[in-house]
Chain A
């Protein structure tokens, strides 16, 4: 840290205040943005924090500056305090101060007719979430109840309310929605997303295509994830695919995040990715699963699931992947069918249960006749196999036409 003098500090603080009030008075959203982004660690704000520490009496300066623009003091005083606290790593304080400042800012923002400050509002929305997360971390480390993110969530709802209207600010609503999603997903309270989604998707003044594409991608990503939770694969596929197609291809991390969910969804509707795709995005946890699906190797699937169980559970795709087992069975029976067909086409459509049991034994999967019979019945029941099972003779009798219908983008019927 340089040895700034009091005078220097004083000058720079005053400078910051001037810039702030000027940005507001000239409605310069871009420069206002940079003054608000506390967590950006910009050199401007970092040095400002040092100056504030040096020049303790800065609130007097704010008061002076307030003469010109009366209401800004309510924003600036807590904002500067936040900058100060953030700099010294006291995030709980920083969050509290920022929340005050943000509320005051929102108050002002409501009065601004045009959308010039929407981006600045976005910065506020983003900052408050980031700061809340940091504050929660700090609280948790102190053994206290981390509740700031929840508070940030309710602030964001207020912001959403101020944007969701017919005015020009409505294009900013989706960004805030995405911030809300992030907070809710982190909190594990995804059910709260529903009300926001409903207003986005049903309100007449929202034209989805009108929103910035980055927001659209984020929105689709999160709503797609929600559909995965609900095991609503068709909708999930559609949303995640949208996100993938519109995501900037340079943002590989984002693409990877989308693929993490899209791949299991696609698998469960019978569409397998190329191995090269998995390699490209380092999604190797799916490699063996795809292989298992291709080979009908039940053991491989189970192993892969076990190996990455924690990860899959965390991302929430475990249950989806678990259901792929039926498709593996299908593939296995199909392979047997193909072998039989090569041997004796006339009897290929009759598969003895013993054969399947034996095949499973080779895979070191110990299932007795009853259980395998049950699985065959389920395959037929779920329309993964056409035919019937003759109980007395313990034979699967396959239909002669297309005995193994493909899913073709449809989920396994439940």
Chain B
């Protein structure tokens, strides 16, 4: 198993509620939610840096919406 380091994280009540909710819905620990978020953020950032766009498509209506990352 890869060695890991520990850090303290300060979150607001609202952020903690979202973290709790994601942890419950996705059936993973809060640490796993944050590690997953880091992976996704790095992946999206790398693709946007390459000039790609992040689009969401509604499965039913096929309507597309772009998520703007600043």
**A and B from one assembly?**
no
